[in-house]
Amino acid sequence: MEEWITGRHISFNIEDRSYLANLKREVHRLSIQCGLNEKKVAEVDIVVAEIGSNIIKHAGGGEVLVMLTDQPQPAIEIIGIDAGPGINDLARMMQDGISTVNTLGQGLGAIKRLSDFSQVYSVKGWGTVLLARFYIKPPEQYPPKPGPELRTLLLPKPGERACGDGYFINADKTGIRLFLGDGLGHGPEAHKAVTAAIGSFRYCMLSDLSEVMRQVNEDVKRTRGLVGSMAVYNHRLRNWRLCGVGNIHMRMWTAAESKTYLPYNGIIGHNLPRTINEQEVEHAPGKEQILIMCSDGIKTRWEMTRYPGIFRYDMSILAAAIYKDNARKTDDMSVVIVKVK
């Protein structure tokens, strides 16, 4: 029985039909725990079965990620990932009732119809990422708000229950505060280290990120330590401030350029550099800017040219695409994406 933690994905490998039973059972249990009504639970069951069946029939296998999320509102998020041939004529296949192999819900159109939100990203020869969300409360209780798009992907090392990666995000009318940390190693002790760092960052009242980093360093000295990066966005000034220690990968995209921001060498809690300075990044008016942060459970040599048109999709699709191609599966894995306009 899986332990569902808000903001953390659980991975289900789908190698053949025998793997579908566990996926359907666990997501069904989650739907009931979330208080969805009988009709909505049945719709979740159909979509989960359809996603799993599509992965097997069209790609020969793949992976399904499931989590409880509060972004953009409380929901069950389901992501199907495969490295199959891709979907030809995606627009046609999204029509309700169209199915090339007679799957349970009569094709991708059923997923679109039954889900509260869904998107499909597919590239010929690369594969497919399918995203479906089921809102826990009526959408009208959470009217759309202008502001940043915040998306996360967080998974423990396969076989582990505790996750040594962790993040904290707070967004309000003044801006965004973000921390992504990776406790040394993996398992419960790594989880303790990153949890302590998140608590320190969350309640720290200091402004300069170099001073915040030193405060976190003091507060986690009794743990095994971690690496971590911080980012703060100011809506009024339209700028980012960044600061990192250790191998958390930070990359910023605009329509014109992509730039990687290097962290300082060291271990938070044990070996902090004597000199630390925050870096400032301007945000030009009227242009989208996307910050992507990854722990070292994700390989760093990836390029956005591999994912044509993906910025038009929900950023959970991008997080899943990066994970699909670059997850090491030998450590905890995390991707945090923030898109501001």
For the stretch 159-202, pLDDT in tens is 999 999 999 999 998 999 999 999 999 999 999 999 999 999 99
Is the CB of residue 235 less than 8 Å from the CB of residue 285?
Answer: no
Residues in contact with 76: Cβ distance below 8 Å, sequence separation at least 6, in sequence order: 27, 30, 31, 34, 44, 66, 67, 68, 69, 133, 134, 136
In a domain, 3, yes or no: no
In a domain, 298, yes or no: yes
137 plus 166 within the same structural domain: no
Q: How many Å apart are CA 111 and CA 152, to the nearest integer?
A: 22
Q: Which of 48-57, 87-96, 114-123, 325-334 has the lowest mean pLDDT?
A: 87-96
Q: 């929901």: which residue's tokens?
A: 75
pLDDT at 104 (0 to 100):
45
136 plus 275 within the same structural domain: no
For the stretch 190-217, pLDDT in tens is 999 999 999 999 999 999 999 999 999 9
CATH number at residue 43: 3.30.565.10
336 plus 199 within the same structural domain: yes
The percentage of the chain sitting over the pLDDT mark of 90, rounded to a whole number, equals: 80
* Secondary structure class of 298 (helix, strand, coil): strand
172 plus 250 within the same structural domain: yes
Is the CB of residue 239 less than 8 Å from the CB of residue 232?
Answer: no
58 plus 83 within the same structural domain: yes
114, 141, 168: which is the final residue of a domain?
Answer: 141
Q: How many Å apart are CA 199 and CA 233, to the nearest integer?
A: 20
Domain span at residue 60 reads 10-141
154 plus 248 within the same structural domain: yes
Question: Please, which pLDDT band fits residue 105 given cuts at 50, 70 and 90?
Answer: very low
125, 141, 157: which is the final residue of a domain?
Answer: 141
pLDDT at 196 (0 to 100):
98
Angle between helices 38-59 and 20-33 in degrees, nearest 10 = 160
- Phi first, then psi, for residue 283 (nearest 5°) are -120, 110
pLDDT > 50? residue 282: yes
245 plus 118 within the same structural domain: no
Q: What is the pTM of this model?
A: 0.93
In a domain, 201, yes or no: yes
164 plus 299 within the same structural domain: yes
Q: How many Å apart are CA 241 and CA 209, to the nearest integer?
A: 8
Angle between helices 209-219 and 188-203 in degrees, nearest 10 = 140
Is the CB of residue 201 less than 8 Å from the CB of residue 232?
Answer: no
Is the CB of residue 118 less than 8 Å from the CB of residue 131?
Answer: yes
38 plus 91 within the same structural domain: yes
For the stretch 228-251, pLDDT in tens is 999 999 999 999 999 999 999 999
**Percent of the chain as helix, strand, coil, to the nearest 5:** 30, 30, 40
- What does the block give as tokens for 34? 């979330």
The larger pLDDT score, comparing residue 269 to residue 287, is at: 269
98, 121, 141: which is the final residue of a domain?
Answer: 141
Count up the domains in the chain and report the number.
2
